[in-house]
A and B are shown apart, each in its own frame.
Chain A
Amino acid sequence: MSLLTGQPQAHHATQIGMDVRGPLICAPESIRTVFIVTLAAASAPLCAGIVLFGWRAAVVAAICIGSCANIERLYYRVTRMPALMGRSHAYLTGVLLALTLPPTAPWYVPVVASAFAIIVGKAVFGGVGHFLWQPALVGRLAAAVLFAGAMNPEYWPVLAQDRLLWGDADKGRIVDDWRKWHGSCAPENADAFVSRRSDVVLSGLRPSKASYSALAYLPPPNELPKAPPAALGQLPSMGEMLMGTVPGNIGETCAIVIVVAGLYLIYRNYLKWQLPVAVLCSAAAVAAAAPVYLAGPDDVAIEVWWPVLHQEGEVALTYVMYRLLSGGIVLSAFFLAGESTSRPTGAGGQVIFGAGIGSLAMLLQLYVNTPIPAFMAVLAMNTLTPALDSLWRPRVLGRRRFEFLRRK
């Protein structure tokens, strides 16, 4: 049993002539504490999502948590393996999965996603502590592939201000040029406003010839926006982006709550500050630098690198913030990328990991038509975790810097 317990066995002691005991006192935090505190932090954006998207979000979350816990129990019963960690990690996976699902998902979507998360994402690797990809995102990716229609609707709901928490997100009215959530009243026979997602609206600034020809419909040059403010005018205000009253998945819209909950995780030492900072900074840098297509003089589409430099400061800042706050980048930075098993352990490795996630997510959001750009970026970088772990190691006490490069 020493593979798991790590207690040196008696016959070792006789061979080397001593019996070492470790410290008899230990820190109060166990793995269970870690999972439960992370779960509590992750339920803050979930509560915000339930308030913003109504009881349907609560139902999706309940199905996620319940099916995650039960599928894990079933798996361990069928395979007759001992369930080592209790069920706290299954609950955590369920909450994280609920954060990434749209509020209007039909009931079978969270069930199937949970099954993929628990079995494919976690159990086949050997359970807690052994998986390579973040399980909740494995489930989300399976849902995005299997139920592409249901998971990627063109129009997404937000409850009106007087129907928060109790409204039905499915009863909505389409408002295309709707910008002021604050102070709004619910339309007749409906609880929600339905509009396109902000990143889809922003892709009115469709960039890059390659993505036009390969993936998307290329509008004639006279339909291209004249300048970023034309597209920005169709978006909700910055305050509403931060508060989360914009269309999106359950947990990814309310940036303020996500950041506060993430800061609590950083305070508890469950998350290194370098990781979210690297994600957000690299995403902002890519958004600031990556080219977009604008209508030039004589209605010819021109490619513009460094779009932020072509506008005055306020518009440029707004553009970068919109890019950052849409598409789940903030949620990935603070919760999904920081899952303790599937990220590199060292601070240096985490900076590279976070920079990869941020830039990849922003590139996917800009140039590839995918509903889950940030989640796919996290999964892609999770694959590189073992390599990043061995790439970056702190210098051991008593060794010179770059000693491995010196000749022996």
Chain B
Amino acid sequence: MLLRQYGSFAGGIDLPDEKHSTLGMPIEPAARQGVLRVPLAPCAGPPARMLVPEGTRVSAGERIAAACGGVDVYAPCEGRIGKTVDVQVVSAVGVKHSPAIELVAVGQMAPIRLLVPVFDWRAASSREIRTSLAGGGLTTAKGHIEPLNIWVERGLRACCKCIIANVVEPQPYVTSDHRMLVENGAEVIRGLMIIAKALEVGQMLLAVDQRRVDQYRGLVGAARACNVAMVALPAKYPAGNDTLLVKVLHRRETPIGKETFDVGAAVIDASTCFAAYRWVACQSPQTARVVTVSGQGTMPRGNFWTPYGADCQSMLQEARGTMVIGGPMAPSYQADNAVVCAATDAVLNLKTPPATTATPCIRCGWCTDHCPARLNVKGISDAYELGKIDRARRLHAGACIECGVCSYVCPARLGLCERVVWIKRLLQQRPQQVRPQELHPEARP
């Protein structure tokens, strides 16, 4: 048996899975949207420079903007270039405003086809692969979105020992990486090997969910051919978090305020691996990703091969409720005109929770019991209320992994996760100059 079982971590919860409705649905091309708004600055850095004037007709895969510190932008499908507008790009760490090109789509979105490799990446050196990764609009998809080549450079500088492809998908409803691995698993594994070559690491791991092991049997051969070890993780909620994955698989805990590179492990996701293979081996740029559309209530569900720049709200059609981009457990952000980008793994329609009356904390202790980071969640929440930023820092609010378990289990329905994430962001952005009034208007300095 190639699927080894590893240990677990403290805390965590058993979540209702809720994936059954889209778990078996194959990836289909998304319904045609009349206008795509392709973001020019999907990641950190200035927006890309336009290469084609307004009104030009472009074909699918044609480069329409050149990177100036960010990534190149390619046309996802055939269409005509319109004017420049402003859109929002939602990632796990926040909302970012970005200029975008309107692309009046003419063609339909093509399904994912098997491409013929044109570049012998197995014989290529690490440096050649890194040069190649700089193009193609390749970005990472988890956490901060950043150009893949910059991510690789940082990993090289940190001298990583192992690379982990994170296909655990602990969040309810989200099945996009799972479908990607089931249908295009061999390409994902080759992409993982390409990124590992660029990072010059020997040990490659593919972490999957224990409940779905049966559906990945077909990958065992490809994984063995590429020397990738497949690891099944137990089904406990934040098992797919990068920090916890490294703790469980690599036996290293990421220090507070650092990232997994600092303990010698690189964590990447399936869609980035897939895009890296398609670009490096087949010269096909990353212009689309698989997005799960699901949720509560009646609505079209499925896993859709969606071009970048598609409007998130119109993917839900007329579903009523609250739109959530990403999983329902992690803290989400309000965005009115969000478009699909590399980080959009799911667009969900959830019931708006009823406005609950305020209830006091009864000190049940469940937030601390279930917190995977073992934080004193209520203490940090009290520090937020009192405006005591130093107390929050002493309680290590920066160690929060933003899984949302504390808010989920809280019987008093306190917004614990929001508060802790708030303080964490505040400490990250301006560690020195936080005034108490910024935390709470009634707080005294």
**Residue B372 at the chain A interface, CB threshold 8 Å:** yes
Q: Which of B24-32, B187-195, B351-359 contacts A (4 or more CB under 8 A)?
A: B351-359
Q: Is the CB of A341 within 8 A of B404?
A: no
**Residue A243 at the chain B interface, CB threshold 8 Å:** no
Nearest CB of chain A from residue B203's CB, rounded to whole Å: 22
Among B359, B360, B438, contact of A15 (Cβ-Cβ < 8 Å): B438
Q: Is the CB of B418 within 8 A of A6?
A: yes
Q: Which residues of B contact A85 (CB under 8 A)?
A: 359-360
Q: Is the CB of B363 within 8 A of A129?
A: yes
Q: Is the CB of A399 within 8 A of B256?
A: yes
Among B357, B374, B438, contact of A394 (Cβ-Cβ < 8 Å): B374
Give bound CA distance, A395 to B357, whole Å. 34
Instruction: Take A21-B418, A24-B324 as given contacts and tell me if A129 and B358 are in contact as well, using a CB distance cutoff of 8 Å.
Output: no
Q: Is the CB of B373 within 8 A of A345?
A: no
Q: Which residues of B contact A395 (CB under 8 A)?
A: 374
**Residue B66 at the chain A interface, CB threshold 8 Å:** no
Instruction: Take A6-B381, A22-B415, A396-B375 as given contacts and tell me if A129 and B404 are in contact as well, using a CB distance cutoff of 8 Å.
Output: no
Among A3, A12, A31, A127, contact of B422 (Cβ-Cβ < 8 Å): A12
Of chain A, the residue at the smallest CB distance from B364 is A340
Those of A1-35 within 8 Å (CB) of chain B: 1-9, 11-12, 15-27, 29-31, 33-34
Among B322, B381, B410, B440, contact of A26 (Cβ-Cβ < 8 Å): B410
**Residue A269 at the chain B interface, CB threshold 8 Å:** yes
**Residue A405 at the chain B interface, CB threshold 8 Å:** no
Q: How large, as a class, is the contact surface on chain B? A: 35 or more
Q: Which residues of B contact A21 (CB under 8 A)?
A: 331-334, 418
**Residue B294 at the chain A interface, CB threshold 8 Å:** no
Q: Is the CB of A7 within 8 A of B415?
A: yes
Centre residue among A6, A16, A18, A127 by max chain B CB count within 10 A: A6
Q: Which residues of A contact B94 (CB under 8 A)?
A: 17-18
Q: Is the CB of A25 within 8 A of B363?
A: no
Q: Is the CB of A127 within 8 A of B360?
A: yes
Instruction: Take A18-B333, A346-B365, A396-B399 as given contacts and tell me if A25 and B172 are in contact as well, using a CB distance cutoff of 8 Å.
Output: yes
Among B329, B353, B422, contact of A16 (Cβ-Cβ < 8 Å): B422
Nearest CB of chain A from residue B236's CB, rounded to whole Å: 15
Q: Which residues of A contact B324 (CB under 8 A)?
A: 24
Give bound CA distance, A394 to B429, whole Å. 27
Q: Is the CB of A340 within 8 A of B438?
A: no
Q: Is the CB of A345 within 8 A of B363?
A: yes
Of chain A, the residue at the smallest CB distance from B257 is A398
Q: Is the CB of A6 within 8 A of B396?
A: no
Q: Which residues of B contact A24 (CB under 8 A)?
A: 322, 324, 328, 332, 350-353
Contact digits for B329-352, partner A, Cβ 8 Å, 1 yes 0 no: 111111000000000000000111
**Residue A397 at the chain B interface, CB threshold 8 Å:** yes
Q: Which residues of B contact A397 (CB under 8 A)?
A: 243, 247, 253-254, 372-374, 399, 401
**Residue B216 at the chain A interface, CB threshold 8 Å:** no
Q: Which residues of A contact B353 (CB under 8 A)?
A: 24, 26
Contact digits for B265-276, partner A, Cβ 8 Å, 1 yes 0 no: 000000000000
Q: How large, as a class, is the contact surface on chain A? A: 35 or more
**Residue B121 at the chain A interface, CB threshold 8 Å:** no
Those of B375-433 within 8 Å (CB) of chain A: 375-376, 378, 381, 384-385, 396, 399, 401, 404, 407-419, 421-422, 425-426, 429
Give bound CA distance, A394 to B247, whole Å. 17
**Residue A130 at the chain B interface, CB threshold 8 Å:** yes
**Residue A393 at the chain B interface, CB threshold 8 Å:** yes
Instruction: Take A7-B415, A16-B422 as given contacts and tell me if A31 and B375 are in contact as well, using a CB distance cutoff of 8 Å.
Output: no
Q: Is the CB of B256 within 8 A of A22?
A: no
Instruction: Take A27-B409, A396-B256 as given contacts and tell me if A22 and B362 are in contact as well, using a CB distance cutoff of 8 Å.
Output: no
Instruction: Take A20-B421, A21-B418 as given contacts and tell me if A12 and B438 are in contact as well, using a CB distance cutoff of 8 Å.
Output: yes
Among A1, A26, A398, contact of B399 (Cβ-Cβ < 8 Å): A398
Q: Is the CB of B362 within 8 A of A34?
A: yes
**Residue B95 at the chain A interface, CB threshold 8 Å:** yes
Contact digits for B242-279, partner A, Cβ 8 Å, 1 yes 0 no: 01000100000111101000000000000000000000
Q: Which residues of B contact A7 (CB under 8 A)?
A: 415, 418
Give bound CA distance, A286 to B414, whole Å. 42
Q: Which residues of A contact B95 (CB under 8 A)?
A: 18-19
A contact face: mostly helix, strand, loop, or mixed: loop
Of chain B, the residue at the smallest CB distance from A23 is B404
Give bound CA distance, A4 to B357, whole Å. 9
Contact digits for B70-102, partner A, Cβ 8 Å, 1 yes 0 no: 000000000000000000000000110000000
Centre residue among A7, A15, A345 by max chain B CB count within 10 A: A345
Instruction: Take A33-B411, A84-B357 as given contacts and tell me if A20 and B331 are in contact as well, using a CB distance cutoff of 8 Å.
Output: yes
Those of B19-73 within 8 Å (CB) of chain A: none
**Residue B128 at the chain A interface, CB threshold 8 Å:** no
Q: Which residues of B contact A27 (CB under 8 A)?
A: 13, 408-411
Nearest CB of chain A from residue B397's CB, rounded to whole Å: 10
Of chain B, the residue at the smallest CB distance from A30 is B411
Q: Which residues of A contact B10 (CB under 8 A)?
A: 394
Among A26, A84, A341, A396, contact of B359 (Cβ-Cβ < 8 Å): A84
Q: Is the CB of B374 within 8 A of A20?
A: no
**Residue B442 at the chain A interface, CB threshold 8 Å:** yes
**Residue A146 at the chain B interface, CB threshold 8 Å:** no
Give bound CA distance, A11 to B253, whole Å. 36
Nearest CB of chain B from residue A78's CB, rounded to whole Å: 20
Give bound CA distance, A394 to B417, whole Å. 19
Q: Which residues of B contact A127 (CB under 8 A)?
A: 360
**Residue A128 at the chain B interface, CB threshold 8 Å:** yes
Nearest CB of chain A from residue B278's CB, rounded to whole Å: 32
**Residue B361 at the chain A interface, CB threshold 8 Å:** yes
**Residue B441 at the chain A interface, CB threshold 8 Å:** yes
**Residue B368 at the chain A interface, CB threshold 8 Å:** yes
Q: Is the CB of B418 within 8 A of A20?
A: yes
Give bound CA distance, A2 to B331, whole Å. 18
**Residue B366 at the chain A interface, CB threshold 8 Å:** yes
Of chain A, the residue at the smallest CB distance from B18 is A25
Of chain A, the residue at the smallest CB distance from B396 is A396
Q: Which residues of A contact B368 (CB under 8 A)?
A: 345-346, 394
Give bound CA distance, A25 to B330, whole Å. 10
Q: Is the CB of B360 within 8 A of A20?
A: no
Q: Is the CB of A25 within 8 A of B441?
A: no
Give bound CA distance, A130 to B369, whole Å. 20
Give bound CA distance, A25 to B408, whole Å. 7
Nearest CB of chain A from residue B345's CB, rounded to whole Å: 16
Give bound CA distance, A393 to B381, whole Å. 16
Give bound CA distance, A25 to B352, whole Å. 9
Q: Which residues of A contact B375 (CB under 8 A)?
A: 396
Q: Is the CB of A23 within 8 A of B331?
A: yes
The 10 nearest A-B residue pairs measured at CB? A345-B365, A4-B358, A129-B360, A397-B373, A23-B404, A394-B374, A22-B407, A6-B415, A22-B417, A5-B358
Please, could you name 6 A-B residue pairs with CB atoms under 8 Å apart, sorted by A? A3-B442, A22-B331, A31-B411, A341-B363, A396-B374, A399-B256
Residues of A within 8 A of B (CB): 1-9, 11-12, 15-27, 29-31, 33-34, 84-85, 126-130, 269-270, 340-341, 345-346, 393-399
Kindly list 11 other residue pairs between chains A and B, CB separation below 8 angstroms, not including A25-B408, A31-B362: A4-B360, A6-B381, A20-B418, A21-B334, A23-B404, A26-B413, A30-B411, A33-B411, A394-B368, A394-B374, A398-B399
Residues of B within 8 A of A (CB): 10, 13, 94-95, 172, 243, 247, 253-256, 258, 322, 324, 328-334, 350-353, 357-366, 368-369, 372-376, 378, 381, 384-385, 396, 399, 401, 404, 407-419, 421-422, 425-426, 429, 438-442
